[in-house]
Copies of this chain bind each other. A is one copy, B any other.
Amino acid sequence: MLKARPLPPYLIQRYHGWKATTYTENESWYRTLAQEGQHPRAMMISCCDSRVHVTSIFGADQGEFFIHRNIANLVPPYTSDGGQHGTSAAIEYAVSVLKVAHVIVMGHSNCGGIKGCDEMCCGKAPALDAPTSFVGRWIDILRPGHERVAGIKDDAERARALEKEAVLISLENLTTFPFINEAMQRGTLTLHGLWLDIGEGHVQQYSASSGEFAPI
């Protein structure tokens, strides 16, 4: 038998508060969304980290962003192995079915997944090297990025550089998907790379012309 439990009371109470206020005041919009379907303009790929709220930062309402969140906002490269790839499935749905105009990858400061990747690649986290470590195998995606920052001596500086590499690796991998390339060539899709400083509330974006992240 499934061992599911009732929600904690504080969540039930908050839900009823939401239902009586935010939902009730906007029920017409919720019903429209249900009946007419979603037409998001952008897909946002960000981290599962509880401190990263893209809808708040960009003033987005229900219906605006199609959001995939995984550890360290990583996109694996395209493969046609017929396996189960949740991130690739989300991207395919956003681009091929919903036809979003933008795919935005947002990395962030103080990222635990990135720190784990740095430690693993520096040989300091044997547990992550184990084949049974889901986190370890997932952040393998970022290994090519680590090679590009491995020369940085300062740990904090190297972690921050690796956080930005995670965005770049994901952007690079996005362009290995045939349907992404086709949409980009048709001029109906653009890619964007962002990095958020959680504590300072700064957002930087990657500029292809300068090859650097700069404040927006």
Contacts and interface: CB of A to CB of B under 8 A. Distances in A.
Contacts of A99: 32, 35-36
Contacts of A110: 34, 37
A149 interface: no
B80 A132 contact: yes
Interface string A184-205: 1011111111100111110101
Interface string A113-126: 10000000000000
A161 interface: no
B192 A83 contact: no
Contacts of A14: 14, 17, 58-60
Contacts of A84: 76, 85, 137-138, 140-141
Contact of A216 (B12, B20, B42, B198): B12
Contact of A208 (B1, B55, B171): B1
Contacts of A50: 38, 40, 62-67
A135 B86 CA distance: 8
A153 interface: no
B3 A59 contact: no
Interface string A159-194: 000000000100110010000000110111111111
A146 interface: no
A18 B57 contact: yes
Contacts of A131: 80, 82
A69 B71 contact: no
Interface of A: 1-43, 48-51, 53, 55-71, 74, 76, 80, 82-94, 97, 99-102, 104, 109-110, 112-113, 131-135, 137-141, 168, 171-172, 175, 183-184, 186-194, 197-201, 203, 205-208, 216
